[in-house]
């Protein structure tokens, strides 16, 4: 792994995480703070470096292959040479049990992923300070032991310093425990505390059958849209203001918790009837209808609220929270009073299961009857104004419902494990069609077919053999096929994906990174995998050339597009822009040097017969 050198070296920090992005991010921020860091991605290397005596603090991930973070920490604490090294866990696991296990293993702090960089720096700084203080105390004690006979007065003073430091350290540990149980933004209870309170209440119902309490879940509607208009700091201030407004309505015996994001939980203790909970909810609603003032800006919010009444019929917190969440989601759908009380009738899982079974039967029958038909969206060269590719987009020709768009069946098919079968139909059909068009149109010998390749298809064991068979049967050349693959396909199995892509390249199949501009849009991905083409997502150019343009946004987008195209060309990739809807966009992309374009300004979606007509027409009526 790598070691990062800092200008000042107040402490050596070992970072252990099997995610490269996390290692690089943590190392970079700590380097700016003057620390020396060493990054490793597994437990064995971490133990080896710790035993060398180099590390003064360890940032440790939990979920790692072969040896998890708990095992690494326990081994460190078991060895005399490493047990004094402070360990801060950094993990996406956020349950109270996970944190308790981390502290039991010997950790002195726990940071949740995704982490706030400022929080990481502060906690690291605190632990380094504590460690430095501890070393100072040890040094003082050694000096005191040597001079105890002649310097009794100094010994007493040093003992007082020692006690003060112990108290400060205990206070630091208390603060860490506080952080484990309370939300860092609002200062109110977090999910762990809330669930613990519900468990206590359920135990009371076992002893007192007439004991009732209310669980109220509250979600701020449209909060994500609001966050887009204000800064991160201002959105946190808004959350604090909302929490304070809610808390001002609650009785002393209640508990307010920020569960996650913009969702709050309220525990209302020992109620007499449902009306008490409803009256409180209506008071909260009235409070939250008033605008919040954040940096002189008025912000209005709407809330969706679900209420579940806890009683002896409940046995676990999950069901209780789930019932309150169902009521909250129903309130969101209702758009009326925006609060609902949970009723057993809201359970629709059985009907959903039945519907899922029907859909599965219909999809399997559709595959058997070959009801999936390819439509095509042409892609043209912006330089030569020739059709270079036809992207295959599947539609389901349902015998009763007519043509069904992919968004209405793809997700269901993926859940059922049927995407590979559908993908094979699309691939075989597309190759047959492109071969036919090449034969019919003598000047279209280089025409290519574009096919979207899902993760299920890419990693299916039969992919390569299936492509070999189709190429052999259709007598199509590999370079006439191009697979469009989204970036997220490579996340879980990058090495396997690279091996499969290399196999495809051996067959001269073209590879395209799809939807670039959304998600991570990682340059590492472009560098790692052998792509021939980069396809810019339609969202990047959607607002260009509109009737009411945002000139500043258009300028920024134009600069971004220019950079993307330049980088792609430097990496010997061609660039295709999707979603081209007007001539302004088309001309701009041509000026920026974009190679290919696709969108309704060029052609709408075509069936097989319409493609043949389009190819003949476009030859004499180019853009």
- What pLDDT digit, counting tens, does each position of 595-616 carry? 999 999 999 999 999 998 898 8
pLDDT at 179 over 80: no
- The string of DSSP codes covering 495-561 is HHHHHHHHHHHHTT-EEEEEEETBTT--HHHHHHS--SEEEE-GGGTTTTT-SS--HHHHHHHHHHH
Q: How confident is the model at residue 135 (pLDDT cuts 50, 70, 90)?
A: confident
pLDDT digits (tens, 9 = 90+) for 494-526: 999 999 999 999 999 999 999 998 877 677 888
Cα separation, 536 vs 574, whole angstroms: 11
- Please report the beta strands in 63-212, taking only residues with DSSP state E, as ranges in sequence order: 87-91, 109-112
Please state, in angstroms and rounded to a whole number, the distance separating the CA atoms of residues 28 and 33: 9
Task: Note the residue count of the chain.
Answer: 623
Parallel, antiparallel or unpaired: strands 3-4 and 36-40: antiparallel
pLDDT at 5: 40
DSSP E strands, 353-428: 372-381, 387-398, 402-404
Percent of the chain with pLDDT over 70: 95
pLDDT tens digits, residue range 249-275?
999 899 999 998 889 999 999 888 899
C-alpha dist (Å) from residue 349 to 202, 309, 534: 25, 21, 42
Distance CA 546, CA 219 (A): 35
Structure tokens at 557: 């987008």
Q: Strand (E) positions, 562-622?
A: 574-577, 596-597
Q: Are 482 and 391 in contact (CB under 8 A)?
A: no
Rounded CA separation 3/54 (Å): 12
Domain segments of the chain as ranges: 3-181, 191-346, 374-535+576-620
- Closest by CA to 526, choosing from 564, 495, 481, 479, is 564
| 76-108: pLDDT as tens digits | 999 999 998 999 999 988 888 989 999 999 999
Q: What is the pLDDT of residues 391-409, one digit of tens each?
A: 999 999 999 999 999 998 8
Q: At what angle do helices 494-506 and 463-474 cross, to 10 degrees?
A: 20
Per-residue pLDDT at 170 exceeds 80 = no
Q: Where are the beta strands (DSSP E) in 179-331?
A: 213-221, 255-260, 263-268, 292-294, 297-299, 302-310
Residue 177 has pLDDT above 70, yes or no: no
Backbone angles phi, psi at 348, to 5 degrees: -125, 15
Report angle CA 376, 379, 380 to the nearest 5 degrees: 140
User: Percentage of residues in the chain with pLDDT exceeding 90?
Assistant: 52
Hey, which residues does 306 pair with through a beta bridge? 217, 340
On the CB side of 550, how many CA atoms lie within 13 Å of its CA? 7
CA dihedral 589, 592, 593, 599 (to 10 degrees): -10
Could you give the CA distance from residue 236 to residue 222 in angstroms, rounded to a whole number? 15
- Establish whether domains 3-181 and 374-535+576-620 are of one fold: no
DSSP code, position 189? B
Structural contact between residues 427 and 470, judged by C-beta atoms closer than 8 angstroms: yes
CA distance 342 to 345: 8
Q: Is the pLDDT of residue 152 over 90?
A: no
pLDDT of residue 4: 41
Q: Is the predicted pLDDT of residue 336 greater than 70, yes or no? A: no
Which 8-state DSSP code applies to residue 115?
P
C-alpha 20/C-alpha 415 separation (Å) is 30
Residue range 374-535+576-620, CATH number: 3.20.20.450
Tokens of 295: 């940096």
> Which of helix, strand or coil describes residue 126?
helix
- For residues 543-555, average pLDDT: 85
Q: Quick one: tokens of 26?
A: 């943590």
191-346 architecture in CATH?
2-Layer Sandwich (3.30)
What CATH superfamily classification does 3-181 receive? Response regulator (3.40.50.2300)
Best-predicted range by mean pLDDT (268-277, 335-344, 354-363): 268-277
Residues whose CB falls within 8 Å of the CB of residue 355, separated by 6 or more in sequence, listed in order = none
Can you list the pairs that 518-526 forms with residues at least 24 positions away whose Cβ atoms lie under 8 Å? 519/486, 519/487, 519/488, 520/487, 520/488, 521/487, 522/487, 523/567, 525/487, 525/490, 526/567, 526/568, 526/571, 526/573
Give the mean model confidence (pLDDT) for residues 551-575. Answer: 93
d(CA 491, CA 508): 24
Predicted pLDDT of residue 50: 93
Q: Measure the CA–CA gap between 84 and 108, rounded to whole angstroms.
A: 11
* Mean pLDDT of all residues in 124-153: 80
Between the alpha carbon of residue 342 and those of residues 204, 306, 314, 330, the distances in Å are: 21, 7, 13, 9
Measured N-to-C along each axis, helices 117-146 and 20-32 cross at an angle, to the nearest 10 degrees, of 60
pLDDT of the residue at 520: 73
Q: Give the pLDDT confidence of 194-214 residue by residue, as tens digits.
A: 999 999 999 999 899 889 999
- What is the C-alpha to C-alpha distance for residues 550 and 539, in angstroms, rounded to an integer? 15
pLDDT of amino acid 79:
93
Contact 541, 585 (CB under 8 A): yes
Q: What is the pLDDT of residue 155?
A: 64
Calculate the average pLDDT of the chain.
88
Q: What is the largest CA-CA distance in the chain?
A: 107
User: From the CB of residue 234, how many other CB atoms can be counted at a distance below 10 Å?
Assistant: 16
pLDDT, tens digit (0-9, with 9 covering 90-100), for 318-331: 999 999 998 998 88
DSSP 206-233: HH-TT--EEEEEEEEETHHHHHTTS-HH
pLDDT per position as a tens digit, 9-53: 478 999 999 899 889 999 999 999 889 999 999 999 999 999 999
Contacts of 124 (CB under 8 A, 6+ apart): 13, 30, 33, 35, 57, 59, 88
Res. 8: pLDDT tops 50:
no
48 phi and psi angles, rounded to 5 deg: -65, -45
DSSP secondary structure letter of residue 95: S
Whole-number Å distance between alpha carbons of 276 and 269: 11
Cβ–Cβ < 8 Å for 525, 516? no
């Amino acid at each position: 792994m790598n070691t990062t050198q800092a200008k000042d070296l107040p402490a050596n920090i070992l970072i252990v995480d099997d995610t490269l992005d996390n290692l690089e991010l943590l190392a970079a921020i700590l380097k700016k703070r003057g620390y020396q860091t060493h990054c490793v991605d597994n437990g064995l290397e971490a133990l080896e470096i710790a035993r060398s005596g180099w590390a003064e603090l360890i940032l440790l991930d939990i979920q790692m292959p072969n040896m998890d973070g708990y095992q690494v920490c326990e081994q460190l604490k078991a060895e005399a040479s490493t047990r004094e090294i402070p360990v801060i866990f950094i993990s996406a696991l956020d349950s109270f049990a996970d944190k308790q296990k981390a502290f039991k293993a010997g950790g002195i702090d726990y940071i949740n992923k995704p982490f706030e960089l400022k929080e990481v720096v502060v906690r690291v700084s605190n632990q380094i300070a504590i460690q430095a203080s501890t070393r100072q105390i040890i040094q003082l004690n050694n000096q005191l032991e040597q001079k105890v006979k002649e310097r009794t007065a100094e010994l007493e003073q040093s003992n007082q310093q020692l006690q003060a430091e112990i108290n400060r350290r205990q206070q630091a540990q208390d603060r860490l425990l506080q952080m484990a149980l309370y939300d860092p933004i609002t200062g109110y209870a977090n999910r762990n505390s809330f669930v613990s309170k519900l468990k206590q209440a359920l135990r009371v119902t076992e002893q007192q059958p007439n004991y009732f309490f209310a669980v109220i879940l509250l979600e701020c509607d449209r909060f994500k849209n609001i966050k887009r208009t204000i800064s991160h700091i201002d959105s946190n201030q808004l959350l604090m203001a909302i929490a304070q407004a809610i808390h001002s309505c609650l009785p002393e015996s209640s508990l307010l918790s920020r569960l996650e994001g913009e969702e709050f939980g309220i525990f209302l203790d020992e109620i007499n009837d449902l009306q008490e909970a409803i009256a409180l909810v209506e008071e909260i609603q009235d409070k939250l209808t008033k605008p919040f003032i954040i940096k002189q800006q008025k912000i209005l919010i709407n809330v969706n609220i679900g209420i579940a009444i806890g009683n002896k019929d409940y046995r676990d917190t999950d069901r209780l929270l789930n019932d309150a969440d169902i009521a909250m989601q129903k309130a969101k759908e209702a758009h009326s009073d925006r609060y609902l009380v949970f009723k057993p009738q809201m359970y629709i899982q059985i009907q959903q299961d039945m519907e899922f079974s029907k859909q599965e039967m219909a999809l399997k029958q559709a595959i058997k009857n070959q009801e999936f038909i390819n439509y095509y969206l042409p892609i043209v060269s912006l330089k030569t104004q020739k059709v270079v590719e036809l992207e295959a987009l599947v539609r389901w020709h349902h015998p009763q419902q007519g043509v069904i768009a992919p968004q209405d069946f793809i997700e269901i098919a993926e859940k059922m494990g049927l995407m590979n079968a559908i993908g094979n139909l699309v691939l075989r059909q597309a190759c047959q069609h492109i071969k036919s068009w090449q034969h019919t149109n003598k000047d279209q010998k280089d025409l290519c077919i574009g096919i979207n390749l899902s993760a299920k298809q890419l990693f299916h064991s039969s992919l390569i053999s299936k492509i070999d068979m189709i190429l052999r049967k259709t007598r199509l050349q590999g370079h006439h096929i191009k697979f469009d693959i989204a970036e997220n396909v490579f996340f879980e199995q990058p090495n396997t994906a690279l091996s499969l892509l290399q196999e495809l390249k051996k067959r001269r199949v073209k590879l395209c990174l799809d939807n670039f501009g959304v998600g991570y849009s990682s340059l590492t991905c472009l560098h790692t995998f052998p792509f021939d083409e980069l396809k810019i997502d339609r969202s990047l150019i959607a607002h260009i050339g509109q009737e009411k343009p945002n000139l500043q946004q258009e300028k920024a987008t134009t600069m971004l597009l220019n950079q993307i195209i330049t980088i792609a060309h430097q990496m010997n990739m061609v660039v295709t822009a999707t979603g081209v809807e007007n001539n302004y966009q088309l001309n701009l992309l041509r000026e920026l040097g974009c190679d290919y374009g696709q969108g309704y300004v060029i052609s709408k979606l075509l069936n097989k017969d319409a493609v043949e007509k389009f190819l003949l027409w476009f030859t004499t009526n180019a853009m």
